[in-house]
Amino acid sequence: MFGVVALQGALVATSAILAALLFGGIQGLSLFSGGFSIVLPSLWFAWFLNRAPATSQAFAWLVGEFGKLGMAVVLLVLLASAWPEMSWPAAVAGLMVASMSLFLAPLLLVYQERRRNERRLMSRLRDFS
């Protein structure tokens, strides 16, 4: 789960740097801020699920999702009140990058599983030689 959040953060940071280079610093920082208003609650959600006992994973998932959504809304409200010059189109683009990066998560999980299998195979081959 933490790998998915790291992927979210990396894509938001990369797209923010690209936006800053193409459109200017305010747009890049706005995209970064909007994206990380999703990434930070996702990080909390991953930590919360990791701590939950196996017997109550479904309940923890539900509570965690509501907490994550609430934290994202609070972060966006704080961001809007603290930084009135923020570019909302860029912030919404950051929200979209962070949210849509979850569609890449299965690819990350397949890649990680393939790497684990390759390492396991290499260690077994070393045992034979």
Mean pLDDT (whole number) for 107-122 = 83
What dihedral do alpha carbons 45, 49, 51, 54 form, nearest 10°?
Answer: 170
Contact assessment for residue 91 and residue 31, using Cβ atoms and an 8 Å cutoff: yes
Please write the tens of the pLDDT for every residue from 34-43: 999 999 999 9
pLDDT, position 3: 80
Alpha-carbon gap, residue 41 to 69, rounded angstroms? 8
Residue 122 has pLDDT above 90, yes or no: no
Nearest-5° angle of CA 118, CA 42, CA 98? 80
Annotated domain spans of the chain: 2-104
Banded pLDDT at 57 (limits 50, 70, 90):
confident
Look up the pTM and report it. 0.78
What distance in Å separates the CA atoms of residue 35 and residue 76, rounded to the nearest whole number? 10
Percent of the chain residues topping a pLDDT of 90: 58
